[in-house]
Amino acid sequence: MYPRLGMALALTLGLGACAQIVQVSPRQSAADTISVQAGRERILALSPAVSARQLAPARQALSAARAAVARGDYTLASRQTLLAKTLLDNIQTRLNSASTDSQRAALQSQIVDLQSRNASLRQQIAATKAQIAQEAP
């Protein structure tokens, strides 16, 4: 019974030490969250469909979040980062819907082309059937 108690105590102390090792400071947590959104902003900036003007509000929110972290105001940093995330989500949604619209237009064009080909083939089949009927005894 005592060996089990010793093992349980060792595990508890070990897990407690691990929990203290991985504890993240509010400053680091805020900086990491800002970095994630800044990365998204950079990725969206690479798209030719997104203008700098569209990204400006998100960039301003990220700058305000960085300034808040520097002052130690983590609540404001969190709110500014959330604002930047929402703005970037809106841009991403617009991009996704624009690509869906262009894909839909391309599919519509393909459908019209295939319908035209189908009608042409039906005419050729009808003409061939008529020719065969005329040539039959």
> Does the residue 104 lie in any domain?
yes
For residue 56, what pLDDT is reported? Answer: 97
In the chain, how long is the greatest CA-to-CA distance?
107
pTM of the model: 0.62
> Does the residue 67 lie in any domain?
yes
> Does the residue 118 lie in any domain?
yes
Higher pLDDT, 12 or 122: 122
For residue 13, what pLDDT is reported? Answer: 66
> Does the residue 113 lie in any domain?
yes
Averaged pLDDT score across all residues of the chain: 87
CA–CA dist 2, 5 (Å, integer): 5
> Does the residue 48 lie in any domain?
yes
Residue type present at position 83: L
CA–CA dist 103, 49 (Å, integer): 15
Structure token pair of residue 112:
């019209």
> Does the residue 21 lie in any domain?
no
Query: Helix, strand, coil shares of the chain as percentages rounded to 5?
Result: 90, 0, 10
For residue 6, what pLDDT is reported? Answer: 67
| Contact (Cβ atoms closer than 8 angstroms) between residue 44 and residue 91 | yes
Q: How confident is the model at residue 98 (pLDDT cuts 50, 70, 90)?
A: confident
Asked whether residue 129 carries a pLDDT value surpassing 60, the answer given is yes
Higher pLDDT, 98 or 89: 89
| % of the chain beyond a pLDDT of 70 | 83
> Does the residue 120 lie in any domain?
yes
For residue 130, what pLDDT is reported? Answer: 87
What total number of domains does the chain contain?
Answer: 1
Q: Which residue has the tokens 């301003």?
A: 60
> Does the residue 16 lie in any domain?
no
Q: Which long-range contacts (CB under 8 A, 24 or more apart) does 79-87 make?
A: 81/30, 81/33, 81/34, 81/37, 84/34, 84/37, 84/41, 84/58, 85/37, 85/40, 87/57, 87/58, 87/61
Per-residue pLDDT tens over the stretch 32-78: 999 999 999 999 999 998 999 999 999 999 999 999 999 999 999 99
**Containing structural domain, residue 85:** 26-135
CB atoms within 10 A of CB 47: 13
